[in-house]
Structure 1
Amino acid sequence: MSDVLGGAGRILDDDAVRAYVAGRLAAADLDGRSVCVIVPDGTRSCPLPLLLGALHRALEGRASRVTVLVALGTHAPMDEAHLLAHLGGPYPGWTVRNHEWWDPDALVSLGYIDADRVAELAEGRMKRPVEVVLNRAVVEHDVCLVVGPVFPHEVVGFSGGNKYLFPGVAGQEIIDFSHWLGALITSAAIIGTRGTTPVRALIDEAAALVPSHRLALCLVVRSGTGALHAASFGTPEEAWAACADVSAKTHVSYLDTPVTRVLSVVPAKYDDMWTGAKGFYKVEPIVADGGEVVLYAPHITRLSATHPEIEEIGYHCRDYFLGQWDRFSHHHWGVLAHSTHLRGAGTWTPQDGERGRVTVTLATGIPEDVVRRANLNYRDAGTVDLDDFAADPGTLVVPQAGEVLYRLR
């Protein structure tokens, strides 16, 4: 069973965290075994220098070798300077690698989840087999140790745990598959949902095929900082569940009534709209019908660093794709999912076309023609005055947007 250090409303002392990590790893069967440590990339708030420093001390002289694998999903790789700042270190004797999701030689197949089982897990939304592919570094080590935070998430409900395997260090097919399942449910319906959602069930099923011994150090991080509210160590399923309970009390902010407009101030750790779109996902539930979300990010100059096809497809609601599936099914489903997540709820029919529930406006460094071609609204970032927005009683200004979920009571 997993146990929890800390809790909602608490801030953990660094020495207490180090002692917790040392104690839990001392009791784990790691002597003489190789360990693959899976960590988040720079789009997640997490005090990795503190945690990896504690892990390095705990594993020194015990693990036969250690590889740190950065869970990119399909994000852009982190360069050496960014990795050093993100991870801390250096960590003598350890190897640090990006997850090379684009390189077939870096991946290995663990088999398939058959169509009937997929239909069961997906509650009938999908029925086709999916190949379970992930980074071969995971299976080439005796132990897989996930280290990462838990936040409300638009695809799976709450992130963390086995999600660092799938999609974190997985092949593109299962990444696309799991994200499209989430899109069929819709971001607004699944985000912040506790328990085992259909997407979580699919991820856990895939993780059960991993031959390595799986452990996790899950964390609840104060949004936008390196401070920890809680930590939990155990199996990925147990540690995740414990931290998701704390995250649900920590990372969800409730309003009594919907707002007409939200200004989401997107932090610099999101360097394209593919990642910065979290500023929309986390606030969509509180916007009134016909309202607007303005994503303010002057530093963002492109829609996606790694998925240029989003410029061709644009941003549309789920029913736009489902109603014209023959036109879109050949595209990566993960791209289609991202498209629906940022466009939000809406309808499409051949007669009436597409109607979004809310307007999505980009006030970024992305050129106006690119934004409008992608089916989003444009505003010159230079015209955004934070004080003016804050003074408007119908507007909610969200600083450091992207990690805290806003919901109606």
Structure 2
Amino acid sequence: MSAQITPDLIGGPHQHVSDEQVDEFIGRNLAAAGLEGKKVALVIPDGTRSCPLPLLMRALHQHLVGRAAEVTAVIALGTHSYMEPDEIARMLGGDPEELYPGIRVVNHEWADPDMLVEVGRISGERIAELSGGRLDVGATIMINRHVVEADVALVVGPVFPHEVVGISGGNKYFIPGVASQEFIDMTHWVGALITSYDIIGTTGITPVRAMINEGSELIPAQRLAFCLVVESGTGLIEAIAWGTTEDAWAASAAIAAQTHVEYVDEPFKRVLSIMPERYEDIWTAAKGFYKLEPAVADGGEVIIYAPHVTEVSETHHEIHEIGYHCRDYFVKQWDRFKDVHWGVLAHSTHLRGKGTYDAETGVEKLRVKVTLATQIPREVCESINLGYLDPNEIDIDAMRADPDVFVVPNAGEVLYRVK
């Protein structure tokens, strides 16, 4: 029988929680959770999220190993590329087998059917209710085997404004984090129908969050979470919440909405989003656009400056076939695009932003120009309907001095809005 879980929180907007406070907080709450003799699946972020994972893993190792019967940490990749051993070691502060003996660290192998287990089904009628009538297709919910076969699924990770769900974290670590591509695609497409512009940074239960919560409730394991608000750029913890995946998420999301949203007086004409190297392709570095779009003027431009990026997507090559377009470009030509993975269509609309498409004339009008300054060649950028700049010709200091350019260091996590 599961112990009664009492929600807990330390820290707050723009505060800093010490390493000692984090360790005490994790230890105290795990001790009260009744995990003795249980199989625990930790669900942790991948390398695209700012998070002091070595600090958290040390505390989890100290307070779980020897108490729980078995501990497996599953990296919540969604459909991102599997992480290589050296990438995992870099994220976790060293070789996990040496640092955290007794905790097995594995990728969410979303492309391997044997690693996915069906936990239930949501009807098309129910999907229509949850999505506000945007979609009426049923879905089989498939979740990572390690998570399904655990007694306790413990999410450990940060929350940020998010282009699909509103505020990330909580049950989102299960769906899309450790789910199959089918339902991931469906939730992302509902987010695209709403548009990133309108949903990003929204607290509360958005239609996408409602779908994710419904699917997560089918997981047989007890679902608990440590949800963190992490200061972007420093990795310092501003707050950490404990409870069910719903309670811990709600407490931390309210703080993230204050600490990770910047309000500006006037919309930007031109933005240079400088992308950290944790974003290894445009599929992930596109966050440099998502987080700025609401604060860019009509006719403005966002430049994604990522000289280290060499490809559009490591895993979703269909994007080269369809390119980047606004939502209505796909909706008004649905018979042409309905068989493309809906998650790819969603990513396309998220990076291209708001716009219109006239099916009679074939004219697409896009609100903001999107330009890549990467190692991706000009001809590739143009073929996928994006602009191109040679990253070697960009003078960041000169752009900082230009009153018409807003330069964002460490872009991708803080959301900008006009007051």
Instruction: Confirm or deny a common fold (TM above 0.5).
Output: yes
Instruction: Tell me the secondary structure at the aligned position of residue 133 of structure 1.
Output: strand
Does residue 1:392 correspond to 2:402, yes or no? Answer: yes
User: Which residue identity lines up with residue 37 of structure 2 in the other structure?
Assistant: G
User: Contact 1:135/1:169 (CA < 8 Å) preserved in 2?
Assistant: yes
2:87 to 75, 82, 85: 82
User: Which residue identity lines up with residue 57 of structure 1 in the other structure?
Assistant: Q
How big is the shift at 1:394?
1.6
Stretches of structure 1 that go unaligned for 5 or more consecutive residues are none
Pairs within 5 Å for 1:114-153: 114-153=123-162
1:260 aligned residue: 269
Aligned-residue CA RMSD (Å): 0.8
Which TM-score applies when normalising by structure 1? Answer: 0.99
Pairs within 5 Å for 1:141-180: 141-180=150-189
1:58 to 56, 63, 69: 63
Matches of 1:151 and 1:92, distance apart in 2: 30
Matches of 2:142 and 2:233, distance apart in 1: 32
1:285 aligned residue: 294
Does residue 1:12 correspond to 2:17, yes or no? Answer: yes
Q: Which runs of 4+ in 1 moved over 3 A?
A: none
Does residue 1:354 correspond to 2:364, yes or no? Answer: yes
Moved more, 164-173 or 72-81: 72-81
In the TM superposition, what whole-angstrom CA distance separates every residue of 1:309-366 from its partner, at most 9, and x where no partner exists? 1111100000000011111110100000000000000000121511100100001111
Matches of 1:244 and 1:214, distance apart in 2: 17
How big is the shift at 1:217?
0.4
Matches of 2:309 and 2:137, distance apart in 1: 37
1:91 to 100, 113, 120: 100
Stretches of structure 2 that go unaligned for 5 or more consecutive residues are 1-5
2:257 to 248, 258, 275: 248
How big is the shift at 1:226?
2.1
Matches of 1:101 and 1:352, distance apart in 2: 37
Matches of 2:127 and 2:34, distance apart in 1: 33
Does residue 1:106 correspond to 2:115, yes or no? Answer: yes
Instruction: Tell me the secondary structure at the aligned position of residue 170 of structure 1.
Output: coil
1:383 to 376, 379, 393: 393
2:338 to 320, 326, 329: 329
2:375 aligned residue: 365
User: Contact 1:46/1:225 (CA < 8 Å) preserved in 2?
Assistant: no
User: Which residue identity lines up with residue 279 of structure 1 in the other structure?
Assistant: G
Instruction: Tell me the secondary structure at the aligned position of residue 304 of structure 1.
Output: coil
In the TM superposition, what whole-angstrom CA distance separates every residue of 1:194-217 from its partner, at most 9, and x where no partner exists? 100000000000011010011000
Pairs within 5 Å for 1:34-73: 34-73=39-78
How many aligned positions are there? 409
In the TM superposition, what whole-angstrom CA distance separates every residue of 1:170-229 from its partner, at most 9, and x where no partner exists? 000000000000000000000000100000000000011010011000000011232100
User: Contact 1:125/1:184 (CA < 8 Å) preserved in 2?
Assistant: yes
In the TM superposition, what whole-angstrom CA distance separates every residue of 1:113-170 from its partner, at most 9, and x where no partner exists? 1111111110111111111111111111110000000000000000000000000000
Matches of 1:122 and 1:77, distance apart in 2: 30
Matches of 2:303 and 2:91, distance apart in 1: 29
In the TM superposition, what whole-angstrom CA distance separates every residue of 1:47-78 from its partner, at most 9, and x where no partner exists? 11100110111012210000000000111111
Identity of aligned residues (%): 58
Instruction: Tell me the secondary structure at the aligned position of residue 83 of structure 1.
Output: helix
User: Contact 2:65/2:103 (CA < 8 Å) preserved in 1?
Assistant: no
User: Contact 1:315/1:342 (CA < 8 Å) preserved in 2?
Assistant: yes
